[in-house]
C-alpha cells in the first residue's frame, strides 16, 4: 500500500512513467501560478462531485461528508493565504487533491478523482469562474450606464457641436452625446447576457473525453453547481473553448467602445476645446511641465483595448489548428481569460468614476457653435416652403459661400440677399439661426430634443430594469 508521503509525491498521471521530468519541463508544463485563481470554484465543483459519487454508490454518505469537510479546510487555507504549494503541484487540481488526501487520508481522498479527468475538471472550473465574473461585470456595467443616464437627464440644457469627420456638423445636446455611448454600452450588456447560456453548460462527467462509466447523475451535478444545461457530447465538452473566445471577443468590443468614449473626452478636455474637465482623481501631472493636467485615465482606457484584442487574437490562433479533443495548447486559455476579466472590470469602474466626477463647461460648448452648422436648417426652411431638398441643399450652400465671401455670418446676410438666392425666402428666415430651436425641431424618436432625451432616458432605465 502506498504511504501518505509516497502519494503526495506522485503526479496524477505518473504511473505510466519511470523516469523523472526535466525540471525545466516541469516548470514549462506547470500552471499552478495562474490556475490557483480557480481554487474556490474547484472546491465547489469537487464537493458537488463527491455528492454525485455518493449518489452513484461509489462513496458512502459518510465518505462524501468527510470529503466535504476536507475540501472546506482546503478552501479556508487558500482564503487565509495558508495553503502550502508543493513543488509537484502542477496545477490547482493536483494541489487541491493532494492537500485533501493529506487532511482526510488517501483511503477516502484518493476516491475524489473516480471517473473524473482534469480535462472535464478544468473545463467545468473555467465556466464556473467566468459565470461568477460576469455577474460582477453586469453589475458594474449597469452602474456605469445609470451614471451616464442620470447625468444626461440633469444636464439636458447644455448644447454643443456634434461632429462628423471631426468637423463641426450640427448642434446637439451634451446629453445626446453622452447617451450615444450609453446605448453602445447597453448593447454590450445585452450581448453579455446572451453569452451566459452558452457558458453555463456542464462539462463535468465528460471524463477525459469518452464520458463517465459510473452512471453519474449529471443533471444532479448541473443543478448542484447552478449550470443551466448539461453538455450533450463528452468530446465536445472537454475540447470546447468557444465560451472563452466569445468572452474575449465580447471584451474586445466593449473596450473598443471605451476607447472611442475616451478619445472623445480626451479631445473635449483639451485646451483647444475645454468642453469638460476631468477630476483630479482621474488625472496626472507632468514630470517636467507643472501646468499640465493629463487625462491618463482616459488614455489607459484607450490603450487597454489593444491588449484585450491581442489576448483574444492570441487564443484564437492557439486554438485554430489543434486536433480533437483535449491538447495541452488549451492551457493557454486561462491567463487571457483571467486577465481580460480583471481588465474589463477595472475599465468599467474607472469609466464610471471619470463620468461621475468630470465637470462640463456649457459656456465653452455653446461658444463653439457656429452659424454655418445651421446650413441644414436653412435648407429645411425651404423644404417647408415646398422646395425639393436637393434644390434647397444647393441654395443653402450658395448662402454659405456668399457669407464666406462677404466675411459675415449667415444671420448677418440681409433678407434681400436671401431673396436673391430664392424667392421662397420670407422675412422670417432669420428665425432659422437659433441653436436651441434647431435642436428642438429634431424631436423624432432618437433625436436630441428635450423630448428625445427624456425618451432615451426612460428607454435606458427600462432596459436596465429588465437585465
Residue 159 DSSP SS3 = strand
Same domain, residue pair 166 and 309: yes
Same domain, residue pair 328 and 259: yes
Same domain, residue pair 258 and 284: yes
Out of 323, 348, 367, a domain closes at 367
Calpha distance 168→162 (Å, rounded): 6
Give a yes or no: residue 451 inside a domain. no
Least confident of 50-54, 203-207, 379-383: 379-383
Confidence of residue 1 (pLDDT cuts 50, 70, 90): very low
What pLDDT does 16 receive?
A: 57
Which helix (H) or strand (E) element contains residue 95? helix 92-104
**Per residue in 6-40, pLDDT tens?**
544 555 545 555 556 677 877 787 789 989 999 99
Number of domains in the chain: 3
Domain coverage including residue 415: 371-433
Calpha distance 202→393 (Å, rounded): 61
CATH of the domain at 415: 1.10.40.30
CATH of the domain at 268: 1.20.200.10
Give a yes or no: residue 213 inside a domain. no
**Per residue in 407-462, pLDDT tens?**
999 999 999 999 999 999 999 999 999 999 999 999 999 999 999 999 999 999 99
Which helix (H) or strand (E) element contains residue 229? strand 229-230
Same domain, residue pair 298 and 155: yes
CATH of the domain at 58: 1.10.275.10
Same domain, residue pair 377 and 355: no
The phi and psi torsions of 5 (rounded to 5 degrees) equal: -65, -45
Residues 386, 390, 391, 392, CA torsion sign: positive
What pLDDT does 13 receive?
A: 47
What pLDDT does 252 receive?
A: 98
Q: Is 257 annotated in the active site?
A: no
The phi and psi torsions of 159 (rounded to 5 degrees) equal: -100, 150
Write the CB contacts of 92 (distance below 8 Å, at least 6 apart in sequence): 31, 32, 35, 36, 37, 38, 39, 42, 125
The residue-averaged pLDDT of 147-168 equals: 97
Q: What is the pTM of this model?
A: 0.91
Calpha distance 314→310 (Å, rounded): 6
What pLDDT does 26 receive?
A: 72
Q: Which of 270, 279, 286, 437 does the annotation list as catalytic?
A: 286
Same domain, residue pair 337 and 358: yes
What pLDDT does 23 receive?
A: 79
Give a yes or no: residue 209 inside a domain. no
Out of 81, 114, 147, a domain closes at 114
Decide: 111 and 60 in contact? Cβ < 8 Å.
no
Give a yes or no: residue 163 inside a domain. yes
Residue 367 has pLDDT above 50, yes or no: yes
Residue 288 DSSP SS3 = coil
Give a yes or no: residue 467 inside a domain. no
Same domain, residue pair 71 and 167: no
Give a yes or no: residue 105 inside a domain. yes
Give a yes or no: residue 10 inside a domain. yes
Same domain, residue pair 392 and 337: no
Residue 3 has pLDDT above 90, yes or no: no
The phi and psi torsions of 101 (rounded to 5 degrees) equal: -70, -30
Calpha distance 277→359 (Å, rounded): 5
As a whole-number percent, the residues of the chain with pLDDT over 70 amount to 94
Least confident of 46-55, 271-280, 281-290: 281-290
What are the cell numbers at 45?
A: 465543483
As a whole-number percent, the residues of the chain with pLDDT over 90 amount to 90
Same domain, residue pair 179 and 252: yes
CA neighbours closer than 13 Å in the CB half-sphere of residue 161: 22
Same domain, residue pair 137 and 271: yes
Same domain, residue pair 238 and 308: yes
Give a yes or no: residue 394 inside a domain. yes
The residue-averaged pLDDT of 250-275 equals: 97
The phi and psi torsions of 95 (rounded to 5 degrees) equal: -65, -45
Same domain, residue pair 241 and 137: yes
Instruction: Please give the mean pLDDT across all residues of the chain.
Output: 93
What pLDDT does 25 receive?
A: 73
What pLDDT does 10 receive?
A: 54
Out of 114, 143, 167, a domain closes at 114
Q: Is 113 annotated in the active site?
A: no
Residue 147 DSSP SS3 = helix
Confidence of residue 390 (pLDDT cuts 50, 70, 90): very high
What pLDDT does 302 receive?
A: 97
Amino acid at each position: 500500500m502506498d504511504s501518505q508521503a509516497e502519494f503526495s509525491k506522485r503526479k496524477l498521471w505518473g504511473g505510466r512513467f519511470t523516469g523523472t521530468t526535466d525540471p525545466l519541463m516541469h516548470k514549462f508544463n506547470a500552471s499552478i501560478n495562474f490556475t490557483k485563481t480557480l481554487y474556490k470554484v474547484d472546491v465547489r465543483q469537487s464537493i458537488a462531485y463527491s455528492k454525485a459519487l455518493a449518489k452513484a454508490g461509489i462513496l458512502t454518505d459518510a465518505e462524501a461528508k468527510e470529503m466535504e469537510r476536507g475540501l472546506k479546510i482546503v478552501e479556508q487555507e487558500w482564503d487565509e493565504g495558508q495553503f502550502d504549494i508543493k513543488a509537484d503541484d502542477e496545477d490547482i487540481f493536483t494541489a487541491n487533491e493532494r492537500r485533501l488526501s493529506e487532511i482526510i487520508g488517501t483511503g477516502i481522498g484518493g476516491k475524489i478523482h473516480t471517473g473524473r479527468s482534469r480535462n472535464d475538471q478544468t473545463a467545468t472550473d473555467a465556466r464556473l469562474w467566468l459565470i461568477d465574473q460576469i455577474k460582477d461585470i453586469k453589475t458594474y456595467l449597469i452602474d456605469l450606464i445609470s451614471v451616464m443616464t442620470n447625468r444626461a437627464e440633469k444636464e439636458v440644457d447644455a448644447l454643443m457641436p456634434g461632429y462628423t469627420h471631426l468637423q463641426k456638423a450640427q448642434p446637439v445636446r451634451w446629453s445626446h452625446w453622452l447617451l450615444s455611448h450609453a446605448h453602445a454600452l447597453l448593447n454590450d450588456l445585452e450581448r453579455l447576457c446572451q453569452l451566459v447560456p452558452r457558458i453555463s453548460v456542464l462539462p463535468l462527467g465528460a471524463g477525459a473525453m469518452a464520458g463517465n462509466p459510473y452512471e453519474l447523475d449529471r443533471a444532479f451535478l448541473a443543478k448542484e453547481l447552478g449550470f443551466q444545461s448539461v453538455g450533450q457530447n463528452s468530446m465536445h465538452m472537454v475540447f470546447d473553448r468557444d465560451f472563452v473566445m466569445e468572452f474575449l471577443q465580447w471584451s474586445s468590443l466593449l473596450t473598443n467602445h471605451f476607447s472611442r468614449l475616451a478619445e472623445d473626452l480626451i479631445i473635449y478636455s483639451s485646451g483647444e476645446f475645454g468642453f469638460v474637465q476631468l477630476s483630479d482623481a482621474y488625472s496626472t501631472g507632468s514630470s517636467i511641465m507643472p501646468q499640465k493636467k493629463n487625462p491618463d485615465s482616459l488614455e489607459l482606457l484607450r490603450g487597454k483595448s489593444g491588449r484585450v484584442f491581442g489576448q483574444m487574437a492570441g487564443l484564437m490562433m492557439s486554438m485554430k489548428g489543434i486536433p480533437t479533443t483535449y491538447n495541452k495548447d488549451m492551457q493557454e486559455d486561462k491567463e487571457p481569460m483571467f486577465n481580460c476579466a480583471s481588465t474589463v472590470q477595472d475599465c468599467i469602474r474607472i469609466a464610471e468614476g471619470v463620468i461621475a466626477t468630470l465637470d462640463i463647461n456649457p459656456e465653452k460648448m455653446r461658444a463653439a457653435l457656429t452659424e454655418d452648422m445651421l446650413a441644414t436648417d436653412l435648407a429645411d426652411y425651404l423644404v417647408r416652403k415646398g422646395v425639393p431638398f436637393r434644390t434647397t441643399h444647393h441654395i443653402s450652400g450658395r448662402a454659405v459661400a456668399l457669407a464666406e465671401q462677404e466675411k459675415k455670418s449667415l444671420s448677418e446676410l440681409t433678407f434681400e440677399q436671401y431673396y436673391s438666392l430664392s424667392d421662397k425666402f420670407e422675412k422670417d428666415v432669420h428665425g432659422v439661426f437659433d441653436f436651441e430651436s434647431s435642436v428642438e425641431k429634431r424631436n423624432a424618436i432618437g433625436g436630441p430634443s428635450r423630448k428625445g432625451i427624456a425618451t432615451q432616458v426612460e428607454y435606458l432605465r427600462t432596459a436596465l430594469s429588465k437585465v
